[in-house]
Structure 1
Amino acid sequence: MKIRKRIVFGLTAAMALSLTACGGVKTGSTTAESAKTENTENTGGGTSEGKSSFSVAMITDTGGINDQSFNQSAWEGLTELKEEKGVEVNYIESKQASDFVTNLERLGDNGANLLWGVGYACADAVLEAADSNPDIQYAIIDNAYDDTPDNVTGVMFRAEEPSFMVGYVAGRMTETGKVGFVGGISSGLIDQFQYGYEAGVKYAAKELGRDIDISVQYAESFSDAAKGKAIATKMYSDGCDVIYHAAGGSGTGVIEAAKEADKWVIGVDRDQAYLAPENVLTSALKLVGKAVKEVSIEAMEGETIGGQTLTFGLKEDCVGIPEEHGNMADGVYEDTLKVAESIKNGELVPPTTKETYEAFIAE
């Protein structure tokens, strides 16, 4: 594999796919913001000159194309692929889990060479579709199979790394000594976010010689903004002054609660500062769009991508925090970069599970 490294330390150019600080992302003739919100296809052809015969398409999970999170980031990656390579790109929104297989089949029938399932909820559907269509290449975000078929590629991120970084920021910035975490649906994947964050908070607390309490609650949904807002509102009223969400569309409610309470919130997956410039402290970047684009390019160029799981993190410049850090106190951003360097060189290994978190704290 020759996945390209174009983002300096996951920070300076990390805004390339997350650059929405002042509004919508312009990615060519089709944008995530202008995408259809019904369960219909959105077809984006290649450019009139140099159009590629290669076609890439994706299905969203139930969070939808405008989730301000990883579905949107994935589509931004494909629209950049269209602009740069003239590739035909396409998507279908999934309103419910039962849509996944049908949507994959529809896109396959339309001639897609590579089909993406965005989110681990699509895992079974991708396997089923791949088994029925061995001539089509499939890839999935946030899932690793025990036995990966030759025409399937798993794409995972070390989400605990940016989560540790933003946990460290939260620990340095809290004045009340109480911070929160709001998750979407509890799973091994979201454990990476939760325990990476908690470890970062505790790392900062030890550095500062103080105690910091962490409240954790799940919305049990990645699309219920009202539930996310209710949870965050309660946390803020209970004394938390920084909350990190890893809740997809439910997280937009967390950000809304931060605006109303005038407290700090930490975004996820893409730079979410544009949603509340005065309240978003930073964001844990997971550059789904970059990975989708780069893996798609490898497939287009004839590289063998199937039968394996590719993992992206700080070393691959696919996670990090935004370079913009005006809401942080002096020195916090620079110290966070030092923490990131310690993670990159192996001195710090953020935990991914309750067990590894407890071991981390014990050490």
Structure 2
Amino acid sequence: MTITTTKKLFGAVVAAGLVIALAGCGSAPEATPTETEAGGGAVEGFLPCMVSGTGGFDDKSFNQLGLEGLEQASAELGVDNISVESNTTSDFAPNIQSVLDQNCTLVVTVGFDLAAAASEAAGANPDVQFVSVDDIVDTDFDEKTDFPNIKPIIFDTAQAAFLAGYASADFSTTKVVGTYGGKPFPTVTIFMDGFKQGVDYWNEQNDGDVKVLGWDGTDGVFTDAFVPDPAAENAVRGLIDQGADVILPVGGGIYLSAASVIRDSGKDIALLGVDADVFETDPSVADLLLTSIRKAIDVGVSKAIIEAGQGNFDATPYIGVLEDEGVGIAPFHDFEDKVAPDLQGRLDEITAGIIDGSIPVTSYLNK
């Protein structure tokens, strides 16, 4: 196992990150924070740190957005930060311990699969503040966050995925759309839930019969990973072979497998991004993107860190929704001239309906 620690320098000049790789499972990185220009009003000794999910900080998705939030907050506060990248799930606990050993006062864990490790660390370190991205850290399933020193940052992405599903159904010429995910965690299937509901709503409003492949509301297609691999490629081929001409991959870098298979197919197939506006974060697939289902992880992380840094840590869960722009869909970018001229207007009306409750969207957060 390799543990990689990245340190970012802020101040008058932004320096390149220092990367230190250490071999041996459980070994703590020996990095120390770089000096930064102070003056952001942070409490004395405040040191925010982050542990990534297995997709890595260059996943063009939730890990990258989390790191951007850490860096933005650190710059505003004028403090140091430490970030540690996880390569496998076995890295989670050692990586959290590594930043605790470096006297981090706030630890951000990025991704639902870190919940168990975060819970254990938070319970053992009640004086350290934790921020959990994409999971409420409820390991005993009592519908409450395990410890009062953990702040969950979660997103009702079903609302935004509903809009993407409606747009996909409207755009599709084969009237077949598809989706697949990394692992069947609620924070993955919430995208698929909203996507299917959006397609169903389009069918209802337009007397249509667009089919959704890869998710039936309870079961679907999953690759068991959040990186591009043969399993993801096979999943995409299966969807394309059944006629899907819009595809939603949910989970870190698995969209890269979709892009590769789409290009190899030679067919006109559109791709949907998740988490970030992938058109901006990964220009290599920009020409394939109909839109992206966004959740403002960077904004949520930055806000939580700044509040904690100023001595105002609040463990109340943050839930991003359409109304506060915590979730949303990206512009159509290169597809602007390919979608129906009135589509954006209809999406604006649907957005208003979701916000005022006249168009219900269900997810595991509101069932």
Bin the TM-score by the shorter chain: 0.7 to 0.9
Contact 1:185 / 1:221 at 8 angstroms: preserved in 2?
A: yes
Most deviating of 184-193 and 71-80:
184-193
The one-letter code sitting in structure 1 at the alignment partner of 2:150 is V
Q: Which moved more, 1:138-147 or 1:163-172?
A: 138-147
Equivalent residue number for residue 208 of structure 1: 206
Change (3 A) 1:72 1:42: farther
- Quick one: structure 1 residues 178 and 113, their matched pair in 2 at CA, closer, same or farther if it must change by over 3 Å? same
After superposition, the C-alpha distances for 1:321-345 in whole angstroms (9 at most, x for unaligned) are: 1235340412222322221121112
Q: Secondary structure at the match of 1:138?
A: strand
Q: 2:296 aligns with which of 277, 282, 287?
A: 287
Deviation digits for residues 301-328 of structure 1 (CA, Å, limit 9, x no counterpart)? 222413x422111122111012353404
2: CA distance, partners of 1:343 / 1:302: 35
C-alpha displacement of 1:279: 0.9
Whether the aligned pair in 2 keeps the contact of 1:225 and 1:249 (CA below 8 Å) is no
The structure 1 residue matched to 2:180, chosen from 179, 182, 188, is 182
TM alignment of 1:163-312, pairs within 5 A: 163-216=161-214, 217-261=221-265, 262-273=268-279, 274-306=283-315, 308-312=316-320
Matching residue's letter, 2:343: V
Moved over 3 A (4+): 27-31, 34-47, 259-262, 323-326
Change (3 A) 1:36 1:194: farther
Q: What is the letter of the counterpart of residue 254 of structure 2?
A: S
Q: Structure 1 CA distance, aligned partners of 2:73 and 2:30? A: 18
Q: Which residue of 2 aligns with 1:126?
A: 118
Give TM-score, length-normalised by structure 1: 0.83
Equivalent position of 2:347 in the other structure: 336
Aligned partner of 1:5 in structure 2 is none
TM-superposed CA distance for 1:168, in Å, is 0.8
Question: Residues of 2 paired with 1:198 and 1:303: CA distance?
Answer: 39
In 1, Cα distance between equivalents of 2:35 and 2:200 = 49
The one-character-per-residue Cα deviations of 1:196-227 (angstroms, maximum 9, x if unpaired) are 10010111122222101111021121124332
- Tell me the C-alpha RMSD between the 2 structures: 2.5
Distance 2:75 2:148 in 1: 29
**Other structure's SS at 2:346 match:** helix
2:87 is paired with a residue whose SS is coil
| Structure 1 unaligned regions, length at least 5 | 1-26, 357-363
Per the alignment, residue 151 of structure 1 pairs with 149
Contact 1:35 1:65 in 2 (8 A): no
Change in Cα spacing, 1:76 to 1:28, as seen in structure 2 (3 Å) is farther
CA drift at 1:46? 5.9
1:50 and 2:39 correspond: yes
2:59 match: 67
The question of whether the paired residues in 1 share the 8 Å contact of 2:223 and 2:235 is answered with yes
Q: What does residue 8 of structure 1 align with?
A: none
Flag the 1:243–1:50 CA change in 2: closer, same or farther, 3 A: same
Residue 92 of structure 1 corresponds to 84
Q: One-letter code of the match for 2:350?
A: V
Identity %: 26
3-state SS of paired residue (2:325): coil
Q: Comparing 40-49 with 61-70, which one deviates more in the overlay?
A: 40-49
Alignment coverage as a number of residue pairs: 326
The structural deviation recorded for 1:150 is 1.6
Q: Whole-Å Cα distance in 1 between the matches of residues 63 and 355 of structure 2?
A: 27
* 1:347 paired residue number: 358
Deviation at 1:130, TM superposition (A): 1.0
- State whether residues 259 and 276 of structure 1, in contact with CA within 8 Å, keep that contact through their aligned partners in structure 2: no
Unaligned runs of at least 5 residues, structure 2: 1-12, 24-28, 215-220
Deviates more, 1:119-128 or 1:96-105: 96-105
C-alpha contact (below 8 Å) 1:163/1:193 kept by paired residues: yes
Checking the alignment, whether the CA contact within 8 Å between 2:38 and 2:77 is kept in structure 1 is: no
Tell me, in whole angstroms, the C-alpha distance in 2 between the residues paired with 1:189 and 1:118. Answer: 12
TM-score, reference length from structure 2: 0.82
Given that 1:165 and 1:200 are in contact with CA atoms closer than 8 Å, whether structure 2 keeps it comes out as yes
Whose RCO is larger (CA < 8 A, sep 6+)? 1
Local SS of the residue matching 2:317:
strand
**Cα-to-partner distance string for 1:32-68 (whole Å, 9 max, x where unaligned):** xx97788868876464353654211111111111111
Q: Which moved more, 1:224-233 or 1:170-179?
A: 224-233
Q: Is the 8 A contact 2:38 2:79 kept in 1?
A: no
Q: Contact 1:115 / 1:137 at 8 angstroms: preserved in 2?
A: yes
